Amino acid sequence: MTRDELARRHKAYETERAVVAAFGYSPLLLLYGLVHTKYLRPYVPESKGQAVLVMIVIPILWFALLMLLHRGLGPLRHKLRCPACGQRFVGDEYRATLETGRCVRCAEELAGTSVTPLA
């Protein structure tokens, strides 16, 4: 994998991550908007504890679950993992791999990455 290909895959991963985050936030924002209108207000539970559960806990868990799934599946989908050890090339690992051309965990050289120095 060349540096350009690694950078292209990482950019696609970051773009997809933003879409997943927006998809995770949108139900939360929609729910809060609709609760303050006459349409959904009758469906809000009377109990304060149940209302907190429905309005805060469930949407935040939804968002957290989506982001955790993307954190695990996103690098697989975009092939941002070391072929030898499976290390994800995201965040600091991505920057280190782009600079050195080697995996930060197992030091496996990625094909074509260390041929030209990073400018």
User: Could you tell me the pTM of the whole model?
Assistant: 0.72
Q: Please check whether residue 72 lies inside any domain of the structure.
A: yes
Residues 19-52: pLDDT tens digits?
A: 999 988 888 887 777 777 777 777 777 888 887 7
Q: What residues have CB less than 8 Å from 80, skipping those under 6 apart?
A: 6, 9, 10, 13, 74, 88, 89, 90, 94
Q: What is the pLDDT of residues 63-97, one digit of tens each?
A: 999 999 999 999 999 999 988 898 999 989 999 98
Predicted local confidence at residue 83, as pLDDT: 85
Q: Which structural domain range is residue 71 located in?
A: 3-79
pLDDT at 17: 93
Query: 28 in a domain, yes or no?
Result: yes
Question: How many domains does the structure of the chain reveal?
Answer: 1
